[in-house]
Structures are given as structure tokens and as C-alpha cells.
Amino acid sequence: MHPLLAQLLTPDRRSVIYAIKGVISMALALYVSMYLQLDRPYWALVSAVFLQIRPQSGLVIEKALCQIFGSIVGAGVGILILAFLMPYPVAALICLTTWIGLNSAASSTVHNTNFIYAFAMAGMSAGLIVVLVMADARTVDSPAIFEIAQARISEIAVGALCALLVSRLLWPLKVKDVLRDHARSVINKTLDYLRLQLDPDSARDDRHQLADVILESLIALNDDSSAVVYEGTEGPGRGRAANLLCNKIMSLLAVIQILGRFQRNHAELVTPAFNELLGEMRLYFHRIAEANSYEESYKLAQTLRRTLLSLRSEYVDEPAIVSRLTQTSLELVADLVIALRAYNALENRDRTLLKAPKLETHRDPLIGIVNGFRTAVVFMMGAILWVLSASPAAIMLMILPVVYSIMFARFSPVTLMVVLRRLMLGAIAAIPAALFFGVFLLSQTSGDFEMLVLVLAGPYFVGLLTLPNRATLPYGLGFCVPFTVITQPTNHMEFHADTAVSIALGLFVGMSLLYWIFKLITPPDGKRMQRRLLISTAKDLTNIDHHARPEDWFNGRMGDRLLRLANYDQETGSPHRYMTDLGFTGLNLGHVSMRLRRLLQKHRTPAVNVLLNQWQVALADSYLMSSKGGVNTDFRVVSAQLLRAIRAAHADVEADHQTLIAEGMFERIALTFERTANTVAEAEGMAGWKESARPEAIRTAGA
């Protein structure tokens, strides 16, 4: 059965409760706005619809605040535009187009849907105020402009507050439960991934698919953690625990790449003792994943750590690279222990956990420029059609497509086209439904509020029933919002079929424009965007030493990048997925360089510091060269120079041990670059390896 039919004909209990809550919140919003004699109560309904997308109380509070704040900012900008450009309508529309484009570009710098919605509301509110005033400019004076702005903010606020009230009182849902589900899933998937990486017979596709799921879950967990702070006094602590969990999962993904690739690609270097250690790790990862409680998982992780220490104490004349990777294994288990504690802190307060930053959204100016320009074109085309037609019904042609353009701009091109098609299908279904319920049925009623709600509750219930399911959500959103705008329930409804049809056609034309503009104006191809992601990663590699907590900083910047690289690989259908591998290589190179600095903390003389900075630049340059199929011969040279400086700084037993570990580290990285260059060269059809001199170093402050 088609997902839409399945959701409508066989809904689960959660979806039915969700739809009932939505109908109640919308009815309450309509009643309050009509009681207050607001000019356009249907905007309160639109506000309530958007707040139904995620019904958890913390998320509803966050979205309500974003909605109100965005509306206030947009109203202020709209008033400023009218104050200076009221006599110059063309200039006013140009300024409004610029403001909307800027909001769309700024929305590209965040990943959280609620924050993106704040930018959409800032653009929509300014547009509504300016366009409504310009539509009747002869009869509008300065006080009337403030009244229009106040009315728009009031309508949006009423819808938001009513939806918030219903979400807290009726069948309340908590963000903390969603976070715990996300956390449990991501830890179990990560344990499976750790085990799969250490399995020499595991398939590459299986590892990639599991990594994709983990990254998506991490980003979802990171986004939702901002809303849990609104759920009582324990909320901020749960938010910090979620951030720490995300950070440590990133560390686990970074470190396991080192062990897995070494075992698969350099089996001849795996000694029997180290092979036994890897076997113990695989066994314990399986046991931890199968554990029935946090306490049992935590005890197993501590037992694994003690087992690894015992095995390391039995080493005899093991190579330097094995010594280093054994230490890496212990560091991995330590990160796993902290991740388990962070998971437990989502339910039980743990004041001993350190605070970690959130995962950051990758900010690419090129993406912002494309999104801003595209949304500005959507609004500009709508404005041109409105000016040419001079129809009040065409106002919606300018407003709603702008909201959808900002909200969906962050989706990949393939996903975006699917969402827009489903949105249009929902809007097409809303047109006959609005004409039947809004024009035919409501015109037969007495005009009482009770009859209004009874007539509209049915179609709203059907539309809201599709919102809880991610696959069917665009259908419901495309139905509910146009249905509201076409029927326009108010205190004094006028039932004119020609007006309703005109509004419906305007909406359809606006949605069609949105679809084709998004199809024609697309971001740069995935290959170019992937290359920009790798360049950003290389720049961060040179800046690691300039931060107080480099691991948290680097993890936070790499999460979204890895997901974007994986998504681009999926869209291009690349069978090699080597760009995703390069992203993970950049992640573990950052962790290796951080561990090197901790290793040399007691031996950092001025000479060592100079060579360490040169080594870091060579590391970043070698990373970029390997991503193009080339090998940077300078890396081994700089590594050898750094080793000699470390030996010269402190000639004692401890320094010898540190040098041994550093030597193993450098050898492992050099092998990684050579293997990566070979993989990329084969994937891109290049003959042999490209031997070339080191390119101009990446110029960064202090490097």
C-alpha cells in the first residue's frame, strides 16, 4: 500500500492522538483570534499548523519562540521599509526581496528546523505587512501600518500559544524521551559499527550504510538537544549530556577508522598479540550491545579496559606501530565509557561530566548565496505577477512559496524535488476540499463558531493525520495550509466561489513557480561541494593547536561535514564512496594530531614547536593531495625531522617511549596517505600515482 494510503486508512494510535491534538489546538486558536476580533484569524490557524510538525513540548516551545521572535523582527523590518519607501513601491519591493533573500541565505547557516523556521517567519512577516499596505496604499496611514503589523504578530502569537497550551495539557510528549530513543539507537548502531570495522571480512557497503545511519541519528540528536532545555530544571543538564554523547560518538568514529583500516589494509603488520587484542574488543562490543541495562554495559566497558591493559602488559618486542595502536584502542574504550555515562545522564543527573559544545552546521557561503538568490527569485516572480494582475488573491502567490523555499532549501536536490511534488499534490487536493467545505457547506450554516469548527474539523483531521509520518508529512503540510488560506475562516466570512478559486489558482501558480525555480536554480554539483568540504577540513587541521579543547572543537565541526559528504556520495550513486572515506580520514587525522600533541606535551621545546607546526601543515597538504590521487613526499621528510627534534629535546627512557609511539603514528599516517591516493586514483581512472612536490602550504595564522 502507498505510504499515504496506509497512513490515512490504517493510522496508529500515536497518529490519531496527534491529529486530535492538532484539531483542538487549531480550534482553540481560531476561537481566541475570533474572540479578540483579529483581522485575519486564519493566520493563527496557519501558525498552529506549523507547530504540529513536532508535538513534543520542548520542541513546541522552541518553535513558538522562534515563530514569535521571527514575526517581530520581520514586522520591524516591514515597518522600516514602509517608513522610508512608502512613496516608491518599486524600491520597497526591491528592499523586501533583498531582505527575504538574506533570510534565506542566513537559514543555510543553521541545521535546526525551528531556527530555520524563525528566518522563514522573519521574511514572511515583512512581506505580508509591506504587500498588504501596498495593496491599499491610498487608505493606509502611519497608525494603520502599526495596526497591520500588530495584527499579524498577534495572529501568529495566538496560534503559537494555543498550540503550546494543548501540547502541554493533552497527552503531553517530552523531548527527553525522544533524546533517549535517539541516544539508545545511536549507541547500539555505533557498537555494531565498531564491531564491523574490526571484522576483517566485513563488506565495505555494510560499513558505509551503518555510518550513514549513525551520522543522521547524531545530527537529529544534536538538533533536538536545544529544545530539551525548556523541559524543567533537568532540561539543561540533559542537553549537555546529549552534546557530550554526540561529541564522544564522533571520537569513536574517528578512532575506529584507524584500527579497522590498519587491520584490513596492512594485515602483514598485525602481530598475533595485537590480533588477540582486537578479538577481545570485538567480543566485548557485542556483549555491551546485548546488555539489558546501562549498569551492565558500563561494567562490561570497564572490564574491556582492564583486559586491554592486561594484554598490553604481556607485549614483548612489539613494533612501534602496534604499541601506538594499542594505546589508540585504550583511548577508544575510554571514549566509549564516557559515551555510556552521557547516555545515562539523559535520565539521571551526572555532575561529573564535562560540558561539550554542540555539533556545528557547516557554513558554506556558496550554498547561502544560491539559496538566498533562489528564494529572492521566487518572491520576485510572485511580485511581478501580482503587480501585473493587480489581484488581491495573488498576494498568497508571493508569501507561502517564500516560506516553503526557506524551510526546504537545506534538503538535497533529489529529496527536495520529492518533497515539493508531494507538497503540490497536497495543495491540489486542498483546492476542491476548500471549495466544498468552505464555499458550499459553510454557506449553508448559521455562521456560529460551533458549526464552523464541526465543518472544518474533518478535513483538518485528515490532513493532520499525515504529519507524524516523515514520508507523508509534505502531503499534510501541502493540504492544511492552502486549505486554511482558501477558506479563510473569520468572524464575518464571505462565501464567493470566484474569490476562492482565484486564491486557489494563485497558490497553485506560486507552488508551480517554486518547483520550477528550484529545478532550474540548483546548487553547484556535488563534486565541487565535496571538494570544498575537504578543503575546509584541511584548514581546520592546521588550526587544531589554536583551541583550548581541540577535540571538542574539531568533532563539532566535522559532524555535519561527514553527513554532507555521505549524502553527496549517495546522490551521485558513486559505487566507491571514496569521498565519504576521505571525510572519515580527515576526522581521524585530526584526532591523531591531537593525540600527538598530548604525547609531546612534556617535550615541546621551541624547536619542536616550529617543526610541529610544519608537520601540521604538511599533514593538511598531504590530505588534500591524497584526495586528488597524489602523494606528498614531504610528509615523511618533515616527520623524520620532528622525530629527531623530539630525541634531541629529551634523551631519557620516557622520551624514547614517546618517540617510539610517535614513530608508529607517523608510519601509520604515511601508509594511510599512500593507500588513499591509490584508492582515489583507481576510482577516478588515473594511471598510477601522481608523484609531486608539496603544494604551497595552507596559510593560516600561526601555521
pLDDT at 696: 41
Q: How far apart are the first and last CA of the chain?
A: 59
**Residue indicated by cell numbers 566507491:** 576
Q: Is pLDDT of 649 > 60?
A: yes
Instruction: Return the C-alpha cell found at 600.
Output: 609531546
Is residue 467 within a helix (H) or strand (E), and if so which, with residue range?
A: none
Instruction: Give per-residue pLDDT as tens, 242-260.
Output: 888 998 998 898 888 888 8
Q: What is the DSSP string of 342-353?
A: HHHHTTS--TTS
Quick check: 244 and 343 in contact, CB under 8 A?
Answer: no
Greater confidence (461 vs 609) lies with 461
Q: Where are the domains of the chain?
A: 3-173+364-520, 175-345, 526-692
Instruction: Give per-residue pLDDT as tens, 437-484.
Output: 877 888 777 767 888 888 889 999 999 999 888 889 899 988 998 898
**Residue indicated by cell numbers 458549526:** 451
Distance CA 268, CA 275 (A): 11
pLDDT at 174: 87
Quick check: 650 and 603 in contact, CB under 8 A?
Answer: yes
Q: Looking at 36-50, 101-115, 341-355, 689-703, which range is the least confident one?
A: 689-703
pLDDT at 599: 79
Q: Is pLDDT of 648 > 80?
A: no
Instruction: Give per-residue pLDDT as tens, 312-363.
Output: 888 888 887 788 788 889 989 999 999 999 999 887 877 777 777 788 888 8
Name 691's bridge partners.
631
CB neighbours of 53 closer than 8 A, spacing ≥ 6? 63, 113, 467, 473, 477
pLDDT at 695: 42
> Which of 347, 20, 346, 11 shows the shortest CA–CA distance to 169?
20
Distance CA 285, CA 342 (A): 18
Quick check: 346 and 184 in contact, CB under 8 A?
Answer: no
**16, 301, 603 from 467: Cα distances, Å:** 11, 40, 59
CB neighbours of 332 closer than 8 A, spacing ≥ 6? 194, 252, 255, 256, 259
Q: Is the dihedral of CA 616, 255, 273, 307 positive or negative?
A: positive
> Which of 158, 42, 18 shows the shortest CA–CA distance to 490?
42
pLDDT at 654: 55
Looking at domain 526-692, which of 1.10.10, 2.60.40, 1.10.540, 1.20.58 is its CATH number?
A: 1.20.58
List the Cα angle 626/630/634 in 5-degree steps.
Answer: 85
Quick check: 423 and 479 in contact, CB under 8 A?
Answer: no
Total-model pTM: 0.83
Length of the chain (residues): 703
pLDDT at 438: 79
pLDDT at 372: 92
Kindly state the average pLDDT of the residues 362-382.
Answer: 89
Distance CA 442, CA 449 (A): 11
pLDDT at 703: 31
Is residue 277 within a helix (H) or strand (E), and if so which, with residue range?
A: helix 272-290
Helices H / strands E in the chain, number of each:
25, 2
Question: 164-179 burial string, b = 16+ CB within 10 Å, else e?
Answer: bbbbeeeeebbbbebb
